[in-house]
Structure 1
């Protein structure tokens, strides 16, 4: 079985990416922008945070 783990650096980068994508999602949502951008930013943010939630971080 393959072990999937994150280093602290990758976990930090994923957290920053999730925050930026969440901010972009909110910006597009408030401006009533294109639906495809909502999907893009929303799925990217969700993927980043789900990865952080379910993949262990090992120093």
Structure 2
């Protein structure tokens, strides 16, 4: 099994996606319009997974 790692480019893209998803999660939670819980899950889960990947996968140069 190949070892999992992040390159600097994939790490940068992942940081961008985490920021965007986190912002959309916060916006859905703050406004609480119709269907906000579904949108919060849709944006919260990718943000969580991205943060876990950034925290636990090593960066390879």
TM-score range, shorter chain: over 0.9
Q: Give the aligned partner of residue 40 of structure 1.
A: 42
Q: Given the two structures, how large is their TM-score scaled by the length of structure 1?
A: 0.93
Deviations 1:3-57 (A, max 9, x none): 0011000000000100000000000111103211110100010011100101101
Q: Structure 1: 5+ residue runs without aligned partners?
A: none
Q: Structure 2: 5+ residue runs without aligned partners?
A: none
Q: Give the aligned partner of residue 54 of structure 1.
A: 56
| Aligned Cα root-mean-square deviation (Å) | 0.9
Q: Given the two structures, how large is their TM-score scaled by the length of structure 2?
A: 0.90
Aligned equivalents of 1:37 and 1:44: distance in 2?
12
Corresponding residue SS for 1:39: helix
Aligned equivalents of 2:42 and 2:49: distance in 1?
11
Question: Stretches of 4+ moved more than 2 A in 1?
Answer: none
